[in-house]
Amino acid sequence: MTDRPCITIEHLAKFVGQRVTLRGWVRHLRKSGKLAFLVIRDGTGDVQAIVSKAQVGEAQFTQACQMTQESSLILTGTVRADARAPGGYELEAETLHVVHIADPFPIQPKEHGVGFLMDHRHLWLRSRRQQAILRIRHEVIRTCRTFFDERGFTLIDAPIFTPNACEGTTTLFETQYFDQQAYLTQSGQLYGEAAAMAFGKVYCFGPTFRAEKSKTRRHLMEFWMVEPELAFAELADVMDLAEELVTIIVHRVLTHRRAELQTLERDIAALEAVVPPFPRLTYEEAVQLLQAKQVSIAYGDDFGGDEETVLSRAFAKPIIVHRYPAALKAFYMQTDPVQPDLALCMDMLAPEGYGEIIGGGQRIHEYEKLQERLREHGLSEEAFRWYLDLRKYGTVPHAGFGMGIERVVAWICGLDHVRETIPFPRMLYRLYP
* Contact pattern from residue 369 through residue 398 relative to a second copy, giving x for each residue in contact according to CB under 8 A and a dash for the rest: -----------------xx-xx-xxxxx--
Number of amino acids touching a second copy (CB under 8 A) = 92
* Contact pattern from residue 280 through residue 319 relative to a second copy, giving x for each residue in contact according to CB under 8 A and a dash for the rest: ----------------------------------------
Contact 224, 418 (CB under 8 A): no
Phi, psi (degrees; rounded to nearest 5) at 358? -140, 140
Give min distance, CB of 354 to a second copy, in A. 21
* Contact pattern from residue 100 through residue 139 relative to a second copy, giving x for each residue in contact according to CB under 8 A and a dash for the rest: x-xx-x--------------xxxx-xx---xx--xx-xx-
Residue 426 interacts with a second copy (CB under 8 A)?
yes
Q: Which of 62, 66, 169, 175 binds a second copy (CB under 8 A)?
A: 175
Touching a second copy, residues 317-336 (CB under 8 A): none
Q: Which of 55, 77, 201, 358 binds a second copy (CB under 8 A)?
A: 201
Touching a second copy, residues 179-198 (CB under 8 A): 179-180, 182, 184, 191, 194-198
DSSP state of 382: T
Contact 374, 338 (CB under 8 A): no
Specify the stretch interacting with a second copy by CB under 8 A; choose among 58-66, 170-178, 278-286, 313-321.
Answer: 170-178
CA distance 249 to 274: 10
Residue 176 interacts with a second copy (CB under 8 A)?
yes
DSSP-derived pairing of the beta strands 46-52 and 89-100: parallel
Residue 255 interacts with a second copy (CB under 8 A)?
no
Touching a second copy, residues 1-60 (CB under 8 A): 8, 10, 23-26, 42-44
Q: Helix, strand, or coil here: 177?
A: strand
Residue 247 interacts with a second copy (CB under 8 A)?
no
Measure the CA angle with vertex 366, ends 360 and 371; round to 5°. 95
Touching a second copy, residues 72-91 (CB under 8 A): 72, 74
Residue 359: closest CA among 392, 397, 332 = 332
Touching a second copy, residues 140-169 (CB under 8 A): 141-142, 145, 149, 152, 154-163
CA distance 210 to 149: 28
DSSP-derived pairing of the beta strands 280-282 and 319-322: parallel
Task: Count how many residues are written for the chain.
Answer: 433
Omega before residue 433 within 30° of 0, cis: yes
| Alpha carbon 280 to its chain's center | 24
Q: Which of 14, 258, 259, 432 binds a second copy (CB under 8 A)?
A: 432
CA distance 390 to 233: 15
